[in-house]
Amino acid sequence: MAHRPQVTPKIAVNAVVFNDKKQVLLAKRTDNGLWCLPGGHVDLGETLEKACLRELFEETGLKGCVIRLIGIYSDPENSLHIAQGPEWHTVRVSFLCDVIGGTITSSPETSEIRYFDLDQLPALITDHARRIQDAIEPSGPVVI
């Protein structure tokens, strides 16, 4: 019998950032044209917080600091935002962050970075609207 590699969930992080006008920072992805919270996969040997701040900087050019955990989202139905195969499942961890430096700059993964009013959000990837809402109405970390 052939050996099958073990398939396990991936871990990803997202930064939820608001400006002083209570607008949320979003990035437009180059791979599918959808808007999303800045974020990406955690690298081996990296903490969740460091991964979140690295991804924030890589995708937006902004340096940040983590304020608090918003939630952990593990529902496999909402982790399929890119066609990567039926075995793809990502556990997503979102953090509320503040910007402490840098300049908004797009990246190879992001074609546009901008702040949006909460009542005028563009079409977002899967459960990103839920994560924004959870950041606005904190009742402790959400675990789904």
Residue 40 phi/psi, 5° resolution? Answer: 175, -165
Residues 6 or more apart whose CB falls under 8 angstroms from that of 31 comprise 82, 109
Among 58, 59, 109, 112, the one annotated catalytic? 112
Cβ-based burial of 5 (10 A; exposed 0-12, middle 13-18, buried ≥19): exposed
Indicate if 112 belongs to the active site: yes
Smallest CA-to-CA distance from 39 within 76, 6, 82 is with: 82
**Active site members:** 112
